[in-house]
Amino acid sequence: MAKEYVDIATLKFLLYQVHKVENLLSAERFQDYDKDSLDLFLNAIKEFSDRELFPYFKEMDETPAMYKNGTIMVHKQVDVMMRKGGEMGIISGPFDYGDGGLQLPFIIHTASAYIQEAANNHLPGYAGLTQGAAELIVHFANRDLRETYVPKMLSGAWGGTMCLTEPQAGSSLSDITTKATPTQEGYYKISGQKIFISGGDHQYAENIVHLLLARIEGAPSGTKGISLFVVPKLRLDKDRNLINNDVMTVADFQKMGQRGYATTHLGFGDKDNCHGWLVGEAHKGLKYMFLMMNSARISVGRGGAAISMAAYQASLEYANERPQGRKLSSDGKKDPDEKPCLIIEHPDVRRMLLLQKSIAEGSLSLVLLAAKYYDIIASTKNPETKEKYSLLLEMVIPIVKTYPTEAGTLSVSNGVQVLGGYGFCSDFILQQYYRDIRIFSIYEGTTGIQSQDLLGRKVPMENGRALELLLTEILHTITTAMEFDDLRSSAKILGEKIKLTRSVLEFLMPFAKKGNYERYLSDANLFMEFLSHVVIGWLWLDITVNAQRNLQEGDTAYSKAFYGSKIHTMKFYFKYELPKTNSLAESLMHPDVLTINTKKEVF
């Protein structure tokens, strides 16, 4: 295990100086907070993570969640996570005061969860899914359901899940078959099965409240006929005692990574005695679920960013301690009589470390940006501001979900390479980070689904207005960067990428206008990668603008070396990563279409 797992200085620099969290505090919703109180909360989270999360990270992988005697047995720290999570406001943080929450800015809640996930990505999911399920109840359920379930969930006494996926349907939610039959008593009888339910059962939860998608008998086919239900593992009888609700844990899934985070197969209504309660109106379940999906997808991207940061910290520590080989002299020779140098002295190791750093910190800035948009939407009273940031959030959400998880996997893979053979061995933690992060590009919609959402829905949204708003934000940063001599060349490079973006879309959009959507979307994953590189380039330029300004003004909040590291990493990103947009654009505008109507014999 490495000694450190997160860079708190960079996190706070991004929060306060780049994303300017204090500007949010002027809103009525957040007026009870100031920088000192936010720092106290984040510092408490860091201390909690140091004590209760990070020390158990490797152990939870070695003693995974396991199905036994009809339930899932998990590590004892799950109990600590839920109880302390309730006490500290980890679960209730972003909820309104009236619902029992702390009314924290979502960006601060996001930062706190990021610290926890960097410390131990197996544990925060139990609290996070409980929060997400409670959020659905708060927003869409009636008063009785809110009063029955939300207080227990926010306290950590009861867990929560979201039950979408079924064995025969996978990601195709229009094909779900779980059935809800209305009764005269006002509840519905639920029958069906759900798979891949994270946190779906464990021995430390007094109760688990499932937010479940099902189809009421006689409902329209497809997604229009899906409704949302509260289905607890144990239901309350007329005397308010908990009794069995015919929800059975069928099995668990043994996974490549995140082995301490239970993933279950659940059966509902095998004895025809599973009660569920409709949330909101019938046939609007998918709409309700997806209204909450923005925060869920931010959470997934946040997890990818956190793991890539933790892996970078472990790689950096190893590179600073491991002597191996000798540096090349200017004439290309090595002196065998010299002592071996630390591997961080080798250029290729530095390249891999800088790649990790650029991805980890760029991903964090992206996640915080989305959380800031979320806060602006929640707190502003100006309808034009709300509309603008709602469109911006919709535009970046697929990228927030995808870049930190896909690029994060690449980043952690390079971390394994930094350690060489040791990186592949269980004695060192890099192999666990590599296994853990792989699932994040699958959670909450695979990369292919996110890519089709980006190009198929978000780019054309309101005749391209959402995209234009995003490009305007990027151009504003470019204009600001042009004021600094040292940043002018980088600003011009990013400006050229905006022109390239327009060229790519000028090539692709005619296919959509002609109704040839299959061709339009056939390389959506390449467009996702292309636009992600542009957006991360923008965020790195923005980070560097702040660092350069602080250096010029003699700001001492951080050291000159700290600011210099941000500038150097931006230059690395612009040299090694941003140029990849050129080859991606070439592929996107290539006349050959090789994935449509391909004969099976090719495979």
Point out the residues that are catalytic.
444
Tokens (6 digits) for 249: 């844990």
Query: Amino acid identity of 490?
Result: S
The CA distance from 145 to 344, in Å, is 57
Cβ atoms of 358 and 404 closer than 8 Å: no
The CA distance from 107 to 11, in Å, is 11
Sign of CA dihedral 295, 301, 302, 307: positive
Among 430, 450, 441, smallest CA distance to 406 is for 441
Query: Amino acid identity of 451?
Result: S
Q: What is the DSSP letter of 342?
A: B
Among 19, 26, 33, 93, smallest CA distance to 372 is for 19
Query: Amino acid identity of 255?
Result: K
**What are the φ and ψ backbone dihedral angles of 90, each rounded to 5 degrees?**
-65, -35
Tally the residues of the chain: 603
Which residues are within 8 A (CB) of 419 and not within 5 positions of it... i.e. 6 or more apart? 315, 318, 322, 428, 430
- Within 13 Å and on the Cβ side, how many CA atoms surround 603? 6
CA 135 to chain centre: 17
Cβ atoms of 158 and 205 closer than 8 Å: yes
Tokens (6 digits) for 484: 């600094």
Cβ atoms of 209 and 298 closer than 8 Å: no
Q: What is the DSSP letter of 189?
A: E
Pairing of strands 234-236, 188-198: unpaired
Sign of CA dihedral 543, 545, 548, 549: negative
Helical residues (DSSP H) of 482-596, grouped into ranges: 488-513, 517-521, 524-552, 560-576, 580-588
Cβ atoms of 487 and 546 closer than 8 Å: no
The CA distance from 409 to 503, in Å, is 29
State the burial class of residue 321 (Cβ atoms within 10 Å of its Cβ: 0-12, 13-18, 19+): exposed
Among 286, 363, 358, smallest CA distance to 571 is for 358
Q: Which residues pair with 276 in a beta bridge?
A: 188
Q: What is the DSSP letter of 53?
A: I
Helix (H) or strand (E) holding 371: helix 347-379
Tokens (6 digits) for 572: 């690395």
Cβ atoms of 318 and 428 closer than 8 Å: yes
